[in-house]
Amino acid sequence: MRRILLKNAKENMVLAKDIYSEDGKVLVASGQKLTNNMIKRLKDFGVYDIYIVDDNIDIVEIEDVITKEIKEEAFKVVNTAFSAEYINTQEITPEIKVLVSKIISQLLEQKEVILNLCDIRTVGNYTLFHSLNTTIFSLLVGIKLNYDYDKLLSLGMGTLLHDIGKVKIPRNILNKRGPLQEKEYEMIKMHTIMGYDILNSEYKFDQHVSEIALYHHERLDGSGYPFGKTRDEIPQTAKIVAVVDVFDALVSDREFRKRLKPHMAIEYLLNSCSTHFDSYIVSKFVTFISLFQVGTPVILNTREKGIVVHNNPRFPSRPIVRIFYDSEGRKLPYKKDIDLALNFHYYIVDVLEDIEL
């Protein structure tokens, strides 16, 4: 499979990754042959690129760290938890606990995890993927920090619902393009306090869970909100969510800006270490994020162009690349794989949007 721009998609290409709608239902399933109608529908949904099956890249599908069933269960739970009618009930609380414990068990089963951020996300399903992805990221950091089960559970539940306070903020302010007015920004900041109140008073979570919503926008140097707390005043769980929240937001398309490529988002986190983010947490986080996802077209320092076919958990920036074009731009008549972890004079200089095969 490989990633292509949707505008280059053609009829009869086979989709290699499910695409989900705004409410978490499968819109087009992997394995389906594309029709012109489908391509048009995906365009209307704001899909920008897709994964297709390609015989040149013999990877059928990238394995997710959690099963499809759990992913869909998570979407259902998040949809319910974030819907305003549910805020006054505690019915959802046990479901959230069960869901997060299932995610924890699946993550603990895996030895070396490297996350391929290959979900096709749209602006519309941002909250679903953001809640689930940040939860997986946080839990993996928690596991690296040797958290015990109860601590992982609180971290996971708090991460899943860290932005729950946004249900009380008007949508037009949340998704506003262009600069916010002072008053609007003040309102957005309130989602931390509102989130804490919802988790604490309505959903009856304990302090360890609720404080994640309260403090996830605090920054080490005191420049965050709502209180401007610094270093040791911020719970470690909230410091973890600060990192994963910003990373996932940066790699997602939003109403107001295009996404960053993962290696640039990591660069941003590394540059903001010690002022905004805890560098120990960032150092744990970067070990399981693949900088260049499988199926992504890239260009090497030698000007050779190819597609990432395998990620090495020990060297996230040095995957195996299958080369299709030599440094002169000529198509190779034979198969050539370069393992960047073994050949240090090669490195990826940029991610390409698409290459013609």
The footprint of Fe ion (CB under 5 A) covers: 163
Nearer to Fe ion, 224 or 319 (CB): 224
Q: Which is nearer to Fe ion, 9 or 246 (CB)?
A: 246
Question: Smallest distance from the beta carbon of 225 to Fe ion, in angstroms?
Answer: 10
The least distance separating Fe ion from the CB of residue 166, rounded to whole angstroms, comes to 7
Q: Token digits for 188?
A: 């957005």
What is the number of residues in the chain?
Answer: 357
Which residue minimizes CB distance to Fe ion? 163
Of residues 119 and 163, the one with the C-beta less far from Fe ion? 163
Q: In the complex with Fe ion, which residue's Cβ is closer, 56 or 223?
A: 223
From CA 270, how far away is CA 130, in angstroms rounded? 21
Report the alpha-carbon distance of residue 184 to residue 174 in Å, rounded: 9
Q: How far is the CB of 311 from Fe ion (least distance, A)?
A: 29
- Distances in Å between the alpha carbon of 118 and those of 37, 176, 269, 304, 349? 24, 27, 20, 23, 20
Indicate the residue type of 92: I
d(CA 324, CA 339): 14
Minimum Å distance from CB 276 to Fe ion? Answer: 14
The answer to whether 16 and 59 have CB atoms below 8 angstroms apart is no
Strand order across the beta sheet in which 315-325 lies: 331-339, 315-325, 305-312, 297-300, 348-351
- The span from the CA of 167 to the CA of 188, in Å, is 11
Residue number with CB closer to Fe ion (164 or 340): 164
Least distance between Fe ion and beta carbon 242 (Å)? 9
Q: Which is nearer to Fe ion, 198 or 291 (CB)?
A: 198
CB 161 within 8 A of CB 183: no
Least spacing, CB of residue 156 vs Fe ion, in Å = 17
